[in-house]
Amino acid sequence: MTHIEESIHVAVPSTVIDQVWSEVDRWHLWDPDTRQARLNGPFAVGTRGRIVPSKGMGIPMVVTERSAGRSFTVEGYIPLFRIHFEHTVATVDGGSLVAHRVWFTGALAFLFGPGVARQVREGLPKTMRSLKAYAEKRDAQS
């Protein structure tokens, strides 16, 4: 199973990152690969929603892990294919270390995985830099 991972230092407290993550309907403001995202309830394990990438069709998603202030994982799914997006934040000197990991599962992962992985590898570094800029600007304005 291929894991794609990027991490970045962000000069804000981890609580700021967690707040940015919890505002699912605003993900498009910092994630250039997301056109729209929403949850049909709280930002908690089991809550379902939908994510629409900037390119392509929307897919259902579900929060599969949530540890307030530290991490969350959402799973996007279509029949026989799952995309897992894990997000973690740790407090470090001068701010936070943020990591995003993506991997694929399901019977059709061999078919869809390589193409999606290529897009993720291209987009994830941009997403991380955008998250950094968004969170640092937001923290400076508060």
pLDDT tens track for 79-131:
999 999 999 999 999 999 999 999 999 998 988 888 888 888 999 999 999 99
DSSP secondary structure of 27-58: GGGT-TTEEEEEESS-SSTT-EEEEEESSS--
* Residue-level pLDDT at 1: 61
Query: What residues pair up with 105 in beta bridges, in sequence order?
Result: 82
